[in-house]
């Protein structure tokens, strides 16, 4: 079996040497090259064509975000962000890079982990990311809101039987969720509940970032919040907490992980099926694994509208594929069709033409 060819991009000499040594020691991997800045990362990616690359966000010459945008536009490559970014600005750049096509993010080792634990996690994540078939991803496609749907005056005032929208996503989720939200008219008539799998170190500012990516107000869900007062608000599951519902109110728990995930899409979808039944709309977007598939089936059985993202537009078709195989998806749509479909279902809309 051919080895996985790896490019390491890291400006810290100590961390870079550590990553290089880990790669060299694994029989399944081949180190193609290493560099300490974003400009040469792009050049090496174009000439060496690695199977996967690690990428720091804080780089000289060109940042990790700039490198991601150029690489995904001109030589699409699976990118694993390895970052110690924890302040707001750096977290925002990480989310931007994920939306621009980077596949996953892993925090840098702190030196406090049990011996070998971080290294094993790094290797397993790197190999997983290397298997993802990425596509050309032009960051500019997500740069404007002009494609958002508009209310159709001929249908304004029509009552909708739908009272909530639930969305789940994992790998590729930041960009996919952003595109769906931008296609929904504002103000939106019902609450939108979202679970996206992002590790706790990187989830702290995700709601704030998402708030700036669309015309909708986005906030981290808080325990006890009444959904009856949250129409038009996007509520995001906080990192490392399940988002559930009880009696029309948000419930946050640290119950055991499901499918190795907390928050879990299944937990949200099952609660939505139980609380809202046929008045729910649920969308399962790109992601690895099977979280959300069983919950989407519960919503469909309860009479709600269920949508799964298609394979062509998914970064990873694992979660939507599992839902489709279960018969959980009433509709299978391309990413750019999902937002307009939800908007049409909720409030009668017409597409706005891009300039």
Give catalytic residue positions: 170, 197, 291
Nearest-angstrom CA–CA distance, 29 and 56 = 20
Nearest-angstrom CA–CA distance, 294 and 6 = 36
Q: With contact defined as beta carbons under 8 Å apart, do 308 and 342 qualify? A: no
Question: Distances in Å between the alpha carbon of 199 and those of 8, 60, 124, 234?
Answer: 22, 26, 15, 20
Q: With contact defined as beta carbons under 8 Å apart, do 127 and 65 qualify? A: no
Residues 6+ apart with CB under 8 A from 207: 218, 219, 220, 236, 238
């Amino acid at each position: 079996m051919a080895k996985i060819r790896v490019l390491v991009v890291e400006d810290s000499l100590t961390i870079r040497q550590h990553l290089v040594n880990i790669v060299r020691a694994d029989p399944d991997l081949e180190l193609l090259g290493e560099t300490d800045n974003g400009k040469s990362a792009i050049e090496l990616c174009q000439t060496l064509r690695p199977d996967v690359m690690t990428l720091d966000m804080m780089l000289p010459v060109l940042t990790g975000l700039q490198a991601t945008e150029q690489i995904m536009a001109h030589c699409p490559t699976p990118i694993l962000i390895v970052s110690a970014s924890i302040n707001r600005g750096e977290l925002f750049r990480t989310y931007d890079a994920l939306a621009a096509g980077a596949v996953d993010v892993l925090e840098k080792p702190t030196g406090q982990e049990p011996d070998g634990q971080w290294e094993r996690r790094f290797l397993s994540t790197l190999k997983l990311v290397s298997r993802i078939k990425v596509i050309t991803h032009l960051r500019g496609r997500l740069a404007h809101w002009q494609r958002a749907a508009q209310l159709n005056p001929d249908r304004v005032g029509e009552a909708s039987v739908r009272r909530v929208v639930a969305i789940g996503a994992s790998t590729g989720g930041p960009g996919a969720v952003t595109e769906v939200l931008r296609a929904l008219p504002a103000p939106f008539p019902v609450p939108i509940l979202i679970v996206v799998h992002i590790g706790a170190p990187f989830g702290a500012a995700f709601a704030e970032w998402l708030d700036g990516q669309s015309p909708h107000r986005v906030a981290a869900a808080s325990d006890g919040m009444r959904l009856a007062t949250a129409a038009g608000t996007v509520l995001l599951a906080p990192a490392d907490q399940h988002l559930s519902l009880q009696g029309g109110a948000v419930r946050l728990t640290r119950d055991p992980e499901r499918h190795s995930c907390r928050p879990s899409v299944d937990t949200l979808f099952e609660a939505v099926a139980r609380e809202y039944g046929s008045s729910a709309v649920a969308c399962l977007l790109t992601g690895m694994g099977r979280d959300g598939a069983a919950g989407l089936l519960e919503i469909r059985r309860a009479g709600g509208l269920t949508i799964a993202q298609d394979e062509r537009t998914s970064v990873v078709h694992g979660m939507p594929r599992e839902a489709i195989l279960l018969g959980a998806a009433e509709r299978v749509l391309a990413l750019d069709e999902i937002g307009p479909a939800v908007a049409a279902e909720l409030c009668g809309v017409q597409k706005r033409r891009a300039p």
